[in-house]
Structure 1
């Protein structure tokens, strides 16, 4: 399979690249500066908002993984949302795989976790932006799958074991970035959650 990964140098994106390469897929690693990524067949510099680059990348690959994140340094997050709105307007049949946020999952009564009273205020803006990006792609009718992490995601061990749930948190409060990538590649290779917003946790 040919898989392009935006955000290929990030905590999650780099692990998705590594897992895809481990399984023998041909990976295009995309970052703003085109930084070399071990194992990638192609390394490319591109902004997410560059629709012409996205058009080319989507046409050349079986799946495009969007593993970028909203600004976490206090800067504006609207450019992140606008970039997803821009690529949502590009016609493509290529499967899009969005790394979403835990806050976009729902409680049993249907409330988004990001909108619950106890949700940490410091993560609210980031979660709102991540969910708006998802809505832009969903509303455009893209062939979209969204995978959210557990409440906590951090580098750790690749165990290959995880549990999943659709739309709501799965059992377990954390997941390693390595096992998040395992779940992502499992889904890309053998789709079970195509068209859904699902989550994986250890």
Structure 2
């Protein structure tokens, strides 16, 4: 059994990862700005990943830190601003650091452009996509002592398209996965299954992978 500390535990991805981990018998600590909305069964803490003292405290007896928060600027701070301290604290405590990333930094084909560099990508999503890509880039620069993984969902992923739990999906690397109709999608529960599988099996150390049907 592992102990997970989930930042963004009330969000779409974080909530489902926490629920899947609980279902498998893991211990889950959910961190949110408003701890009262953390799902039942999860130990709730109010805090911020930008608070180094708080992060250090929760990391002491954790096995995995899950970061499932937006990458864009919130209250004057972006996710990437917290990464150096998160990486240092995780490394010092032997904690595996993991992130729910974005799909837009995936390449549309081997050797091709990233999704958010294509002309069709909507301008209104470019800032968030770019911020997620910067987080991934910074993780790749961290010393070998840091054990991390970063999961990019399919292009269609979110509360607006939750889908049904199938228990079947494909795993890829840095290239966007699409089905025979050119669609790239994954339901929240199946994304969470893949995420917790990685926590249990550790097949992608210091790497990004993607999940899609």
Report the TM-score when normalising by structure 2. Answer: 0.86
Matched with 2:104 is 103
Instruction: Indicate if the aligned counterparts of 1:163 and 1:171 stay in contact, CA closer than 8 A.
Output: no
Tell me, in whole angstroms, the C-alpha distance in 1 between the residues paired with 2:5 and 2:105. 24
**Which structure 1 segments of 5+ residues have no match?**
none
Bigger drift between 116-125 and 75-84 goes to 75-84
CA distance in 2, matches of 1:16, 1:39: 13
Matched, 1:148 2:152: yes
Q: Which residue of 2 aligns with 1:136?
A: 138
Which of the numbers 125, 128, 132 marks the counterpart of 1:126?
Answer: 128
Partner SS state of residue 104, structure 1: coil
Partner residue, 1:168: 175
The 1-side partners of 2:84 and 2:118 are apart by 26
Count of aligned positions: 199
- Superposition pairs for residues 29-108 of structure 1, below 5 Å? 29-35=30-36, 36-40=38-42, 42-71=43-72, 79-90=78-89, 91-92=91-92, 93-106=94-107, 107-108=109-110
Q: For residues 134-158 of structure 1, what are the alpha-carbon distances to aligned partners after superposition, in whole Å with 9 as ceiling and x for unaligned?
A: 2223322331101000000132211
| Structure 1 residues 191-202: aligned runs within 5 Å | 191-202=202-213
Partners of 1:78 and 1:34 in 2: CA distance = 20
Please tell me whether the aligned partners of residues 87 and 97 of structure 2 are also in contact (alpha carbons under 8 angstroms): no
Report if aligned partners of 1:85, 1:133 keep a CA contact under 8 Å in 2.
Answer: no
State the Cα distance separating 1:78 from its structure 2 match.
5.0
Query: 1:28/1:76 Cα in 2 relative to 1: closer, same or farther (>3 Å)?
Result: closer
Please identify runs of 4+ aligned residues in structure 1 that moved more than 4 A: 75-78
Task: Provide the residue aligned with 1:187 in structure 2.
Answer: 198
TM-score scaled to structure 1, two decimals?
0.90
Deviations 1:20-57 (A, max 9, x none): 000000000111122332121x2111111011111122
Q: 1:76 to 1:152 in 2, by over 3 A?
A: farther
Q: Secondary structure of 1:167's partner?
A: coil
Unaligned regions of 5+ residues in structure 2, if any?
none
Q: Distance in 1 between matches of 2:58 and 2:75?
A: 26
- Provide the aligned C-alpha RMSD in A: 1.9
Distance in 1, matches of 2:174 and 2:207, equals 8
How many angstroms apart in 2 are the aligned matches of 1:188 and 1:9? 20
